[in-house]
Amino acid sequence: MKVMIVESPNKVEKLSQILGDGWTVAASYGHIRDLPKEGEKGEAVAGISLDTFEPKYVLVERAEQHTIPKLRKLVAQADEGVWLATDPDREGEAISWHLKEVLRIADSRYTRVTFNAISASTVLGALEKPRKIDFKLVKAQEGRRVTDRLIGYPGSALLREKTGNRSISAGRVQSPAVRLLAERERQIQVFKPTNHFGAEVEFDGWKAKWDTKLFLTGDSEYILDAELAALAASCRDFTVEASETKPSRKAPPAPFRTVTLMQGASVALKFNPKKTAELSQKLFEAGHITYHRTDSQNFTPEVLAEIRAYASERGWALPEKPRTWKEKDSAQEGHEAIRPTHLEVASAGDTADEQALYKLIRIRAVVSQLADAEYNVTTVRLLCAQGGKSFAFGARGQQCVKPGFEAVLATDVTDGDAAEKTAEEGESGAVPPLPVGSQILALDGRVSMLKTSAPKRYKAASLLAKLEALGIGRPSTYPTIMTTMFERGYATEEKELLYCTPLGTTLVVALIRNKVGFIEYDYTCELENELDAIASGRAEYLDVMRRVNERVEADIARARADESTNTAPRFNCPECSKPLRQIKGPNGLFWGCSGFDEGCRYAVPDENGKPGEKPPAYACPECTKPLRRIGGERGYFWGCTGYADGCKVAFPDDNGKPGKRAPTPPVSAFKCGACGNGLINRKKPGKYNFWTCSNRDCDKTYDDRAGKPVEKKAKASTH
């Protein structure tokens, strides 16, 4: 038997059909190991050795209990070998390595295969190109995880010290993303709109706009004189100063890569990046599209030939040669652009949303290889003397000569920015070629009331596009960036627009004020490139990690030494005068004395980030020991601190103080079979009845049957 292990269970059925008899396909359900959430005692960065920078992995709970035992049995039965076929990126490479290590698969027994699409030709072709795990890719993935912690743990600790806010945290990619929002928020807040004027005149089927530059003086950018604009709008008798008609070409848009798919789906389908990522994952796992986490915007020669043949059969215009696009320097995944696995399939997906996204991907893949749209573009410049002044007007119009790709994609509904820009600039209509020096009469004119606009707020997709332009983040991280900002309270979204919260502003201001390197765009971009270099073998893992750690430690030490950047108020203990510190306990935030190790037990609740009042002491009415407020799954209650000594007194919580105890149910005539004392019928409202012994030292309990106590049934043995 041959065993193939993939990440997602959604791939299992289709791959089993492709591979046929003799194969068993199983899923790892993603990662089976991860870094621990909590570090060991004295560990500066959880799960990371600062000597070797080697991660200390722990098993994921779900995998430990379910996945790994199942996979171990299959691996033991795999007498013809194990194929590790996790996703074709760094994350997938790392998962294959974890599987090999945890399942103890010998080098001679495993084969690593990757496929960019779940189709018979691609999968069977991949089996003919077996290889071993690429440890450079594994180290590149580890480098990102380790770097996130080398930056996140000490960076977050610094932020909490400087701001006094225990809920704030830093991140390698997250913090620069929040900075973009904070800077845009500031630009919008300080923006002051300017009301200004323009003018346009109308002709038969076209119009011309007033060129205001001739009237701008000094540093002025706008016309503020309403009378001057009215004079311009009254122009009627024009002389043609210049007229020119030139050919123009418009190329089709490139195929989708991860970030442009997220942008396109956001504009055309109103899907946020997380939803687009989830839908494209399902389409990939079902075998409908190629791998969706990619930086590339090119296809293989075989695919280009297939698309050109498909277009030719339908009579669509094609360029002389297949189209290719220059790749970004940071493109590192080595995959082709996103496309349908079967071009002839017009609709695919189990839901309406999946089908809509598939259609978007398919049409973009085909259109990207069609011919340019060709136009004749006519521009004219008109002059008019009016009221002793000379006014110039301009017009631009275009006429389609050959539709090219626009015969299939009349309007690119995925390019919202281009659509808005065209609407703002506006075409002048069917501008005719005019003889230079000729006279032309305007039919009408009007003043344009204009107002400058504040910078536009980011949308989720445009923020990711900005991060990509800055070289920050990679395809597999984009949805996580957005999710993290929302979950941690740094950003909110209203009607698709992103707003930076006060907490987000606090984060950014504190990092900039303390001159921490990872908040700088250039530093984060350079670090991304270094992590990419590990994958290509141009850099060593240990060297990169050491440089990152040294930089972070230096930044943190310098910032801690500069007390002028502290914004957190200082509170001292009223009992020993040592500083109080805000602490996150199991029941939430509270303030405790920093002299705890010296014996000071002063502690008070947190009230809006400040030490609150010390709660009054309440004594147990039975043993006189202090009562304490305890938080449980069902809320708070008050219990006796003498519980370990046998005092079981408890009270409900009544707005922060012990409430009235419920009356003790009467002792019945039924006797306890263990000690002979009377039994008490305990009723759980809306749930069930049961019986307990009135003797507090007796732990005997009974089930209730028709109002009578009965012995509990012993559980059946599993042996």
The beta strand positions in 117-191, using DSSP E, are none
Residues in the chain: 719
- Which DSSP string do the residues of 73-119 spell out, in sequence order? HHHHH-TT-EEE---SSHHHHHHHHHHHHHTT--GGGEEE---SS-S
* Both tokens assigned to 114: 């990757």
Q: Are 520 and 209 in contact (CB under 8 A)?
A: no
The beta strand positions in 319-411, using DSSP E, are 373-386, 389-402
Q: Are 617 and 626 in contact (CB under 8 A)?
A: yes
Report which residue type is found at 366.
V
The beta strand positions in 538-677, using DSSP E, are 580-585, 588-593, 603-607, 610-611, 627-632, 635-640, 650-654, 657-658, 667-671
* Distance separating the N- and C-terminal Cα atoms of the chain: 32
Residue 380 CB partners (closer than 8 Å, separation 6+): 208, 240, 242, 243, 244, 394, 395, 431, 434
Instruction: Find the catalytic residue in 57, 110, 153, 291.
Output: 291
Query: For 240-305, what is the HEC assignment?
Result: EEEEEEEEEEECCCCCCCHHHHHHHHHHHHCCCHHHHHHHHHHHHHCCCECCCCCCCCCCCHHHHH
Q: How far apart are CA 204 and CA 419, in angstroms?
A: 25
Burial class, 103, CB count within 10 angstroms (exposed 0-12 / middle 13-18 / buried 19+)? buried
Residue 136 CB partners (closer than 8 Å, separation 6+): 534, 535, 536, 537
| Count of beta carbons in the 10 Å neighbourhood of residue 171 | 22
Which helix (H) or strand (E) element contains residue 460?
helix 460-469
- Among residues 318, 186, 321, 339, the alpha carbon closest in space to that of 254 is found at 339
- Which DSSP string do the residues of 215-247 spell out, in sequence order? G--TT--SB--HHHHHHHHT--EEEEEEEEEEE
Q: How far apart are CA 36 and CA 60, in angstroms?
A: 9
Q: Are 534 and 137 in contact (CB under 8 A)?
A: no
Which helix (H) or strand (E) element contains residue 509?
helix 502-513
Rounded to 5°, the CA angle 276-280-285 comes to 150
* Both tokens assigned to 122: 């691609």
* Both tokens assigned to 645: 């000594």
DSSP state of 66: I
Is 291 tagged catalytic? yes
Measure Cα distances from 609 to 159, 333, 503 in Å: 14, 45, 13
- Report the catalytic residues: 291
